[in-house]
């Protein structure tokens, strides 16, 4: 069971040190935190497993604002999120660019949590499986299903909205994704201590990608304990 905390654009270096000092991950659960780029060094120094929130496909070059695999590895970062819905929505990520980032990260020796998921409009149109197929197969066709790859299903309509997919919806989507690629699948979308146990208890849910609830050490630890129990 893997629990990953995506801090998005929150936490300075000082706040990161304070979190790491207060957070006590339970035994029996694999825990990853994904701080913003500037807070990666203090996070790594804490001894926790640390992923970046994004990584570029090129080794170097004229890519203002981007960060390469080697730059992350120099800091001691173990992996990276790729293709988060906010990257797709606000920064123009496509299935093709996500696949390129995933391939470069894996080939460079980083672990990857690659995100897929449908918008509310796509779900209401009955296009959930089509969207998941296109996004997942783009990744699978680029890299296969190596051990270093994890998929995160994040229904876009449940991210930062307070809405959460029912356990049944999550299970159905995870089972479908697993029919396309042989990889663990995390659930991401308003995961909280109150709903974590039920979501993580589904047979095809292999962990969680936690957003806002990962910013508080006590809240994040409670979700990790729910994962251990599941």
Catalytic residues: 84, 154
User: Which secondary structure element, helix H or strand E, spans residue 215, and what is its range?
Assistant: none
Place of tokens 């990790």: 224
Angstrom CA distances, 38 to 7, 14, 29, 129, stand at 12, 11, 26, 37
Q: Which two tokens stand for residue 58?
A: 């090129």
Return all residues near 228 (Cβ < 8 A) that are at least 6 apart: 1, 26, 27, 28, 29
Partners of 209 in beta bridges = 4
The backbone torsions φ and ψ at residue 53, rounded to the nearest 5 degrees and listed phi first, read -95, -10
């Amino acid at each position: 069971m893997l629990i990953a905390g995506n801090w998005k654009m929150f936490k300075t270096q000082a706040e990161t040190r304070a979190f790491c000092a207060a957070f006590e991950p339970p035994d029996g659960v694999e825990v990853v935190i994904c701080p913003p780029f500037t807070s990666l060094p203090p996070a790594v120094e804490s001894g926790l497993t640390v992923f970046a929130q994004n990584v570029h496909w090129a080794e170097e070059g004229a890519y203002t604002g981007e960060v390469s695999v080697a730059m992350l590895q120099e800091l001691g970062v173990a992996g990276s999120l790729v293709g988060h819905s906010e990257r797709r929505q606000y920064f123009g990520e496509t299935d093709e660019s996500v696949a390129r980032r995933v391939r470069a990260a894996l080939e460079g020796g980083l672990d990857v949590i690659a995100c897929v998921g449908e918008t509310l409009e796509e779900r209401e149109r009955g296009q959930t499986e089509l969207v998941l197929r296109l996004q997942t197969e783009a990744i699978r066709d680029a890299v296969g299903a190596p051990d270093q790859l994890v998929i995160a299903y994040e229904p876009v309509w449940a991210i930062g909205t307070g809405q959460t997919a029912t356990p049944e919806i999550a299970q159905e989507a995870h089972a479908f994704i697993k029919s396309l690629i042989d990889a663990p699948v995390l659930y991401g979308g308003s995961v909280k201590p109150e709903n974590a146990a039920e979501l993580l208890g589904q047979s095809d849910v292999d962990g969680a990608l936690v957003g806002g609830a990962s910013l508080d050490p006590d809240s994040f630890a409670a979700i990790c304990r729910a994962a251990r129990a599941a």
